[in-house]
Structure 1
Amino acid sequence: MGVAIRTAGEGDRELVVGLLDEAFRDDPVSRWVFPGEEHRRAAHPKLMAAFTDIVLADGRIDVTEDGAACALWLPVPADEHGGDAGDGADDGPARMREAVDPDNERVELISSLTAGIHPSGRAHEYLWMIGVTPGRQGEGLGTALIEPVLDRCDREGLPAYLEASSARSRRLYERLGFEPAGRPLDLPDGPRMWPMWREPRRHEVCGQHG
């Protein structure tokens, strides 16, 4: 029942972008960023490509061997945000908008708002996105991608953070030990996002207690 997972490289860029586009095109947040369906089909892949490039450069993308699911992780140092601005620069959201959809202020707004609620102060792993191709959802691929990283977080004493963009994904993350982290983010005239935080779990050594 094991799921084969590997780390994506530059040669996997188009695979990851296509997978994220397919997985998130009808997500509530994506529909808010790009309200028109025809425009969303054209612009959404550009946003997924921008996210992919940031994480290929600064984080790690895990992908199932069959290309059906991927997870984008960014390591966030202490006292820094891991928001959608990418490199932490103040003009990151504006540059994202310019690159993806210059006339669409919501591209910049979603980056600014998620960066604004991102916890700071402690180093942690940021699960930016996890995408599963629609025909394969419900098979446990997301859990298979996330659990090895959470196991490493537990060994290293690192928390993990994410924003859930749907009630369904929030329930999955709760099963994996994530809890609400502050107030939900209500996008203007749009859906709700739930910031979630997971404290590392202690690994007991054989023969020791407590």
Structure 2
Amino acid sequence: MTTPSSDPAGIRIEPVTLPTRMLSFHTLAAAFRSDPVMRWLQPHGWADPLFFAGTWISLRKDLQVADIALEGRHVVGAAYWEKPGSRTSRLGEALAAPFFIAALRTGTGRGEILAEMLHEHRPRRPHWYLSAVGATRPHRGIGSALLHRGLDRTSGLVYLESSNPKNIPLYQRYGFEPLSKIDLPNGPTLVTMAREGR
């Protein structure tokens, strides 16, 4: 399966490094500011960077891949991927817990519900997982550039959940097909999607 070429003029994709990981937290927080699932978890977005920090910390670093998109010197997008076999370590859970608690505050119960429902729908066979991709400047091809870079390194099954119906056509252009829906209690619906790799 070929991946559409997408490299907008002036956009560079680089790996997240220690100096840029904090920028990636804030970039994803800005990109997800009006995301229906984020706002179901916690109505106020002031602590969203802590949520993405917790996501980063919870994973084993040898099984995590992350990219940022830059326009000039400005970080305008980010994507977090998990390699096949990735799982949260006990140490990672312990280190990430304060970040999730601070980020979700009254939404911690919903956070547990979301985590359980996402886990139930994950494929049982090895797969790459796109845990987050977002851009702060929409309709510029930034998300496509991040997807293109990430998918170029994958093989086999790739899986994601789309929390925004508007993004489904973009994922379909990259070969993802809808699998099922996750209806959050008194909340929005996520669509699970998968792509069989090369």
Please report how far the alpha carbon of residue 42 of structure 1 lies from its aligned counterpart in structure 2 after TM superposition.
Answer: 3.2
For residue 194 of structure 1, what is the aligned residue in structure 2? 191
Please report how far the alpha carbon of residue 21 of structure 1 lies from its aligned counterpart in structure 2 after TM superposition.
Answer: 1.0
For residue 71 of structure 1, what is the aligned residue in structure 2? 79
Whole-angstrom CA distance in 2 between matches of 1:200 and 1:129: 19
Match of 2:111 among 94, 107, 127: 107
- Counterpart amino acid of 1:25? R
Whole-angstrom CA distance in 2 between matches of 1:42 and 1:137: 21
Whole-angstrom CA distance in 1 between matches of 2:122 and 2:189: 15
Match of 1:180 among 175, 178, 189: 178
Q: SS state of the match for residue 150, structure 1?
A: helix
Please report how far the alpha carbon of residue 151 of structure 1 lies from its aligned counterpart in structure 2 after TM superposition.
Answer: 2.8
For residue 144 of structure 1, what is the aligned residue in structure 2? 145
Match of 1:17 among 9, 16, 25: 25
Whole-angstrom CA distance in 2 between matches of 1:97 and 1:108: 10
Residue 178 to residue 149, structure 1, CA distance change in 2 (3 Å)? same
- CA-atom RMSD, angstroms? 2.5
Question: Which digits, 9 at most, give the CA deviation of each residue in 1:64-104, with x for residues without a partner?
Answer: 13310111111022xxxx5xxx5166x95994754643543
Correspondence 1:47 to 2:51: yes
Instruction: Please identify the structure whose Cα radius of gyration is greater.
Output: 1
Residue 101 to residue 28, structure 1, CA distance change in 2 (3 Å)? closer
| Contact residue 55 and residue 73 of structure 1 kept, 8 A | no
Please report how far the alpha carbon of residue 130 of structure 1 lies from its aligned counterpart in structure 2 after TM superposition.
Answer: 0.3
For residue 42 of structure 2, what is the aligned residue in structure 1? 34
Unaligned runs of 5+ in 1: 202-210
Residue 15 to residue 56, structure 1, CA distance change in 2 (3 Å)? farther
Aligned length: 182
Q: SS state of the match for residue 41, structure 1?
A: coil
For residue 116 of structure 1, what is the aligned residue in structure 2? 120
Match of 2:130 among 127, 143, 159: 127
Whole-angstrom CA distance in 2 between matches of 1:112 and 1:13: 27
- Counterpart amino acid of 2:112? E
Correspondence 1:59 to 2:59: no
Whole-angstrom CA distance in 2 between matches of 1:28 and 1:127: 18
By relative contact order (CA 8 Å, sep 6+), the higher-ranking structure is 2
Q: SS state of the match for residue 17, structure 1?
A: helix
The structure whose residues are more often strand, as a share, is: 2
**Identical-pair percentage:** 31
| Contact residue 59 and residue 88 of structure 2 kept, 8 A | no
